[in-house]
A = this chain, B = another copy of it.
Amino acid sequence: MPTPFNLCDIAANARAKRERRKDARPGELLAAALELFVEKGFAATRAEEVAKRAGVSKGTLFLYFSSKEELFKAVVRENLSGRFVEWRLELEQYQGSSADLLRYCVNTWWERLGSTQAAGISKLMMSEAGNFPELAAFYQAEVIIPGRELIRRVLQRGIDSGEFRPMDLTYGVYNVLAPMLFLAISKHSGSGCMPANEPLDPVKYINSQVDNILYGLRARAAPAPSPT
């Protein structure tokens, strides 16, 4: 381009640079939103702060997401719902014992989700679902139902193969889900849950829990019947 620079050239140049970064915008906003939603919760996170952390202005946020609720849904899709398909495939192709699969399953969850910011979304939904019914319905359909189904399949596999005792899976899944959710919650609840001077070591905790679960699941004589 020849020399006679003018303001319009500069503007055009700026516009070009802007457009080059344009595609990255939603991703940067989603990352910033994830961090802040997990840190402060949905209601307590200010739209302006999300924008600032993503390096854009408040107006730009609403250019990409029509409201704070839509931003949240996009965060859930990006970090949770979108991953169930590949995960299900992986579990279906697992070759070892069902006990190993369960252990693998929980550890994998920890590595890929539980230990990341994404786990904070679970904690968040538990407290804010009541105040934001539309978000609750969305989360229910996109995350909770598919997630439970995954665990159910692993347990059913163990029962079918004779490794696990027969059980009512509707409750059985919670033997697995409860410790996972609890760990996720405790990692994101600061002093609201755990004494500050005794933080939980996640790997130790997971192994302690899986040991317990497997004791309970293994096929053998029933435990002393509960006195109900």
Given contacts A11-B8, A41-B131, A127-B41, contact A139 B211 (CB under 8 A): no
User: Is A194 on the interface with B (CB-CB < 8 A)?
Assistant: yes
User: Is A179 on the interface with B (CB-CB < 8 A)?
Assistant: yes
User: Is A178 on the interface with B (CB-CB < 8 A)?
Assistant: yes
User: Are B195 and A140 interface neighbours, CB within 8 A?
Assistant: yes
User: Are B204 and A212 interface neighbours, CB within 8 A?
Assistant: no
Q: How far is the CA of A124 from the CA of B126 in the complex (A)?
A: 9
Closest to A212 in B: B216
Q: How far is the CA of A181 from the CA of B183 in the complex (A)?
A: 11
User: Are A126 and B185 interface neighbours, CB within 8 A?
Assistant: yes
User: Is A150 on the interface with B (CB-CB < 8 A)?
Assistant: no
Size class of the A contact interface (CB-based, 8 Å): 35 or more
User: Is A191 on the interface with B (CB-CB < 8 A)?
Assistant: yes
Chain B residues with Cβ below 8 Å from A185 are: 126, 181, 185
Closest to A124 in B: B127
Closest to A204 in B: B171
Q: Encode A190-228 as 1/0 by CB contact (under 8 A) with B.
A: 111111101011011101111111111000000110111
Chain B residues with Cβ below 8 Å from A24 are: none
Chain B residues with Cβ below 8 Å from A189 are: 125-127, 129-130
Q: How far is the CA of A146 from the CA of B126 in the complex (A)?
A: 25
Q: A125-B189, A129-B192, A174-B209 are in contact. List 19 more A-B contacts (CB 8 A).
A: A6-B8, A44-B131, A103-B227, A123-B127, A124-B127, A126-B188, A127-B128, A127-B192, A129-B190, A130-B189, A140-B191, A144-B194, A170-B198, A171-B208, A178-B182, A181-B193, A210-B226, A212-B213, A214-B223
